Amino acid sequence: MKLIDRARMKSPWVLHYNSGSCNGCDIEIFACMTPMYDLERFGIVNVGNPKHADVLLVTGPVTYRGARVLRNLYEQMPSPKAVVAVGTCACSGGVFRNCYNCIGGVDKVIPVDVYVPGCAAKPEAIIEGVLMAVERMSEHTPLKRGK
């Protein structure tokens, strides 16, 4: 068990979901994977399957229709898991706060561990956010709790 936990902290896999964002933050998440920023040097891999993922990156103010998908994705992820809200909309609703089809913020739907503000959030900030989420996640695991 200890070995698995240690491995998980060294290589967290991220899943990305756009729940009503303008694409700005999504392309910055993609930019994190490319040579200039290169998230993979931290062992972070972008996956498409929620059952493989440890960290969920959510962008956008969460629309009513997207909320169900977002909740589904979150519930399909195995524990321990962490959620990073990327961008101002995901943190609070941003400019879309008063739009009729927006719930306004990811934390209204699923629990959020790390908030990354910015419109669009910069790749440096997103990397920092993912690393903070991993740190937080390791605090919940038996590995650290035993100490």
Partner 1 sequence: MAVKTILPFGPQHPVLPEPIQLRITLEDENIGQVLPALGYVHRGIEKAGENNDYPLNVFLVERICGICSATHGLAYCLAVERLLGIEPPPRANYLRVVWAELHRLHSHLLWWGLLADAFGFESLFMQIWRVREMVMDVLEKTAGNRVIISVNAIGGVRRDLSEEQISEMLHTLEECEKQLYALLPVMLNDYTVKKRTAGKGVLTSEQALRLGVVGPTLRASGVAQDLRMTGYAAYGELGFEPIVEQGGDCYARAVVRARECFQTIELVRRALQQLPDGDILTKPRGNPNGKAIVRVEAPRGELMYFVVGNGTKNLERMRVRTPTLANVPALLEMLPGAEFADIPVITLSIDPCISCTER
3-class secondary-structure state, position 115? strand
Binding track over 102-121 against partner 1, x by CB under 8 A? x----------------xx-
- In this structure, how many other beta carbons lie within 10 angstroms of the beta carbon of residue 131? 17
Kindly tell me which of 17 and 115 has the beta carbon lying closer to partner 1: 17
Q: How many chain residues bind partner 1 (CB under 8 A)? A: 40
Tell me how far, at minimum, the Cβ of 48 lies from partner 1, in Å.
3
Helix (H), strand (E), coil (C) string for 48-114: CCHHHCCEEEEECCCEHHHHHHHHHHHHHCCCCCEEEEECHHHHHCHHHCCCCCECCCHHHCCCCCE
By CB under 8 A, tell whether 51 contacts partner 1.
no
What does the binding site for partner 1 look like in residue numbers (CB under 8 A)? 16-28, 30-31, 34-36, 46-48, 50, 60-61, 63, 65-66, 69, 73, 94-96, 98-102, 119-120, 122
